[in-house]
Structure 1
Amino acid sequence: MTALRHTGCDSALDPDFEKTVLQWYNESESDVDDNFAESDGEDKVEELSEHIDDTSSEDDEFEERPLQRDGILKGKNGFAWSSREPAKTRTPSRNIVVKVPGIKNARVVIREIDAWAILFTPTILNEIITHTNEEIERQGVKYQPGTKYVHPTDNVEINALLGLLYIAGARKDAHLSVQQMFSSQGPQIYRCIMPEIRFKFLLNCLRFDDKEKRNREDKFSPIRQIWEDFIENCTKSYSPHCYVTIDEQLLGFRGKCPFRVYIGSKPDKYGIKVVCMCDSRTYYMISAIPYIGKNTNPTNESVPMYLVKELSKSIHGTNRNITMDNWFTSVPLAKEMLSSKDLTIVGTIRHNKREIPPSFLPSKNKPVLTSEFAFSDKLTLVSFTPKRNQSVILISTMHADKNVNEVSKKPEIIEFYNSTKGGVDTFDQMAHNYTVFRKTRRWPLRYFYGMLDQAAINAFVLYNVSRNASKITRNKFLQSLGLQLAKPWMESRLSKKISGKLQSEIREVLGLTHISEEEQLGPAPKKLKYIYSTLYMSSFT
């Protein structure tokens, strides 16, 4: 069966791992928005035809197709295929995975914040703090001197800000206005972390690069540095399972952006496109590249080929399989990835590719639920007819046979594609379900919200994979992460001059019961401090 086609990967893991992962996401994603129903990883093969050019062929066109001669089929460009199945052998070397999946470098993960800090390192946070303080200084001239909420920030406060965003995402409050979140009728956790006006001011001042040194020719320059650091951390912290998926994620955004796109099949329709490679089993985002229009590809090759090779760099030479849709898949890419990168691919392929034999294209004469196979070296091409006058065409360098499920009548290649194609779609679905995204007109800030969502999902995978004890749901993970990020800042607020009601609320959130004598009495007045110090000094005279 397909599940055994790759070896050397699953044997090193808990045999119940896949069942456990499924339980995590069933618990945490039970209230997923219905808009994602069409992008579920278990879509039926009939739905694949919606993403493929629906080209029809009349009967006279079918008669003009070249006849098979000695089992040889040829595409329009002369590419030769054989209808004969290769001789069966033991598991090919290209299907033997040589690297064990899991967390790299034996990292220690005890708390939720430990997993998150692997991805959002102090280097990234210091970059944000530096440029945010530069913006605070620029905007400070607009305010009266001594304005209480206008002052530089630091690492503890920025962590608290991010923790507040994560808690709002877990509670699904990110869509609420700031006034609603911080009102007396709202949750007390937000008021305990920071005042409403300081929260708005910090979000307005968040910056991720030096404006004076910005590369004007690079459209992505305002956030490129921290993005590249973040992706590098994601890649080097985790080794994926046997199967990965490459697809598009859309960060919903309707403001002004030089590379905003429209994707009608996505729930948000308009936004910023990110091409991701995710583990098909745990949905961990291994790598990602922002799509910024014509400047996305610095080389002379096609954009899809460039993206696939760049995204898969970390798994080159490991014999893993990549599942992708027809925007990426091509015969030249399949051959190059296998020959020079030691990676197999399985993907749908567009009907206009000239390597496809004419007999594989849709025809009214083809019986429904029938399959046609062709082979060339280590390439396998299959054309399946789900409905009359429709064809779904896939190419695989992982399979080398004509296996068909006797019950569903679908080829094994298509069933494998259906089981692994949802890696990025599920990742995007999870990001939407507990997003920290708040309305903004600044696309760099929108991208930063996307990074926080991506980091939370990856940290959740790292945390659960590293634990031998029982796993937790993603909602509980996010709330715990947010509280751990905000806790040092809330503790520091207790030593400041705040109302007794707010102080008791903070203690309640932090679970503190013991109150020191100094905190009970409050800070001593200045006059009393002077008297105490005078009496103390006079005792020595």
Structure 2
Amino acid sequence: MASQHPSMPSTSREVTLYSEDDSDTSYEPSGDSESDTSSDMDDEESDEPSLSSGDEGYLDEWIDGDGSPPDLPFSGKEEVKGDIDPNIEPIGIFDLLFTEVLLTQIVRETNRRGEQLFDESERRKTKRILRWKETDIEELKKFLGLCLLIGNIKFPSLASYWSTNPLYFHPVFGKIMSRNRFELILSVLRFVDHSNVNINDKLFKIRPVIDELIEKFNFYLSPGQNLSLDEAMILWRGRLSFRQYVIGKRHKFGIKLYELCTPEGYVLNVLVYTGKGMIIEPTAVRHSDAVVHKLLNNYINKGHVVYMDRFYNSVELAEKLIKDGTYICGTINMNRKSNPKDLVVKKIKKGTVATKYKGPVLVTKWKDKRDVLMISTKHRHEMVKTKNKRGVEKEKPKCIVDYNTNMSGIDRADQMTSYYSTPRKTIKWYRKVFFHFLDISLSNGHLLYQRVTGKKIDLLSFRNSIINSLFGNSDNQPSRKRKRSEDHYPEPCPLTGKTALKRCRECHSKGVRKRSRYQCASCEDNPGLCVYPCFMNWHKKN
């Protein structure tokens, strides 16, 4: 009936070597993370001149050697903060992230929108909104639980979850909330008063949720030394000024996110791309530099190592961050102006390495199948032994091995949210962003729960536990006595003695003596009922 999710594939992002087109990785994240391929970013990259033999004023200060990285002690501590009870249940973790304050604001703004539409119903002539009544936190939790359950179970349409067709029938949905009520709440779901427009913030419709959740993500986990920074994508095909077109992807349109993660996939910080000029950062030349500085705002001067791909890395950024007490490591575009020119054009044989360093910055060129260029302020040149998927041992530069190990955090976070993605296609963009952050909260909460309790639990089981708690009980199997009349079926009364008639239970309750040829096949005692209207009326009451 419901589709089964496959086991999670490997999340390691292995660097493949640069060819002439400078592509840097063979890993294709499962849905939608993509670096340096969106149309707006291509325009931004053109702001930086390419390296060529005719560049004037080019000063080659690079030296042959293994590099001399500074020793920056890591002053942070990898730990869960907030004195969380080690016996906490999954719903307790959810409540830490989706606080009563946040839920109260969502309820208030949703009710505000519902009342506005109800007052406008005469002009709009919509029948659905005439059924609107105020929601509350208890009902909102049930609504969110259904949204999460929809992410767990893949049906072809939203209506299918409430279908009585045996192919799709799932009784929990109708038991928790009617389809009409669910769709009504979904249609008026709001997070801020839209009449207070902030023309300087394209995300004002969802800003309170983003800020609140990111604050909680940062508060409850102090990360270890290694961090990864990359892009993710929320699929979106509707009209939106900051929608991105991603070249060469199955899903080409969406809302782009920049994320800072731990290697395990815990999301620490998120920036939603809203177009050029989204960040005013006078110390950063390129847009990507501004993104990096913004995401790392709470983590500089602590000795962190930030792993990034070639879209972000540059010699200038490396030098700036090392002054801010932060290492970087990752692939780098061959045509960056400040690259060591002779190293970029140097021809090397397969399996060989060439290096150049300038101060704390080491640039490594290595050739296996193709050329790859790496930049690091953390590493000296060092070769280490590794094994590929077939168990064949080979040597690689340590900076590449560490990059492959630590750069998988974004991909792992994307996979965890994409497997159980909650929203449907036909919703407003800001609701889509909300549901994506809801999924991130579940993924982060899952990692927090395992750290706090020491229990190993898969993400699906963690989600199921929270869904049950949001529904208000621990066992959501439907009761044997189903209340909806459409779940019950009339059948001819069996022949008993000389007649096949039964007293109509509904008529009898009204003092009317009447017998029927039909009984309910679903109820335990098979009461006799007139087909219309007694069959429906009796089940509504009982």
User: TM-score w.r.t. structure 2 length?
Assistant: 0.75
Matched, 1:396 2:396: no
1:313 corresponds in structure 2 to 297
- The alignment partner of 1:438 has SS state of coil
Give deviations 1:317-343, integer Å, cap 9, x for gaps: 221111001111111111111112x11
Which aligned pairs between 1:475-486 and structure 2 lie closer than 5 A? Answer: 475-486=460-471
Q: Which amino acid aligns with 1:161?
A: F
- The alignment partner of 1:222 has SS state of coil
Higher helix share: 1
Which aligned pairs between 1:42-441 and structure 2 lie closer than 5 A? Answer: 42-46=13-17, 49-51=22-24, 77-85=58-66, 93-94=71-72, 96-108=73-85, 110-141=88-119, 142=121, 149-173=131-155, 176-184=156-164, 185=166, 186-264=169-247, 266-280=249-263, 282-300=264-282, 301=284, 302-340=286-324, 342-361=325-344, 365-387=347-369, 390-405=370-385, 407-441=393-427
Give deviations 1:347-405, integer Å, cap 9, x for gaps: 11111112222232256x43122211112221111011233xx4211110110234354
Over 3 Å counting, the alpha-carbon distance change for 1:50 and 1:84 in structure 2 is closer
Over 3 Å counting, the alpha-carbon distance change for 1:309 and 1:101 in structure 2 is same
Give deviations 1:83-114, integer Å, cap 9, x for gaps: 123579xxx631x3222212112222611111
2:447 corresponds in structure 1 to 461
Give deviations 1:32-80, integer Å, cap 9, x for gaps: 58xxx8xx42424337952489xxxxxxxxxx989xxxxxxx9972141
Q: Distance in 2 between matches of 1:373 and 1:146?
A: 68
Q: Distance in 2 between matches of 1:146 and 1:359?
A: 69
Alpha-carbon offset, residue 31 of structure 1:
3.3
Q: Distance in 1 between matches of 2:171 and 2:255?
A: 34
Alpha-carbon offset, residue 127 of structure 1:
1.6
8 Å contact kept, 1:75–1:354: no
Q: Distance in 2 between matches of 1:488 and 1:154?
A: 18
Matched, 1:31 2:7: yes
Q: Distance in 1 between matches of 2:152 and 2:56?
A: 52
Q: Distance in 1 between matches of 2:248 and 2:299?
A: 29
Q: Which amino acid aligns with 1:401?
A: H
8 Å contact kept, 1:76–1:357: no
2:532 corresponds in structure 1 to none
Over 3 Å counting, the alpha-carbon distance change for 1:369 and 1:489 in structure 2 is closer
Q: Distance in 1 between matches of 2:320 and 2:67?
A: 21
Q: Distance in 2 between matches of 1:75 and 1:427?
A: 44
Over 3 Å counting, the alpha-carbon distance change for 1:29 and 1:187 in structure 2 is closer
8 Å contact kept, 2:18–2:372: no
1:14 corresponds in structure 2 to none
Root mean square deviation, CA, Å: 3.3
- Higher RCO, Cα 8 Å, sep 6+: 1
Q: Distance in 2 between matches of 1:402 and 1:145?
A: 70
Give deviations 1:172-199, integer Å, cap 9, x for gaps: 34xx322210112321111121001000
- The alignment partner of 1:211 has SS state of coil
Q: Distance in 2 between matches of 1:241 and 1:172?
A: 36
- The alignment partner of 1:97 has SS state of coil
Q: Distance in 2 between matches of 1:427 and 1:381?
A: 29
User: TM-score w.r.t. structure 1 length?
Assistant: 0.75
Name stretches of at least 5 consecutive residues in structure 1 with no aligned partner. Answer: 1-27, 54-63, 67-73, 505-524, 526-541
Q: Which amino acid aligns with 2:310?
A: N
8 Å contact kept, 1:360–1:391: no
Give deviations 1:223-272, integer Å, cap 9, x for gaps: 11221111111111111122110000100010111100012355532100
Q: Which amino acid aligns with 1:310?
A: K
- The alignment partner of 2:62 has SS state of strand
Q: Which amino acid aligns with 1:410?
A: K
Over 3 Å counting, the alpha-carbon distance change for 1:31 and 1:148 in structure 2 is farther
Give deviations 1:263-282, integer Å, cap 9, x for gaps: 235553210001000001x2
8 Å contact kept, 2:417–2:440: yes
Alpha-carbon offset, residue 147 of structure 1:
7.8
Q: Distance in 1 between matches of 2:474 and 2:304?
A: 44
8 Å contact kept, 2:329–2:377: yes
Q: Distance in 1 between matches of 2:439 and 2:403?
A: 27
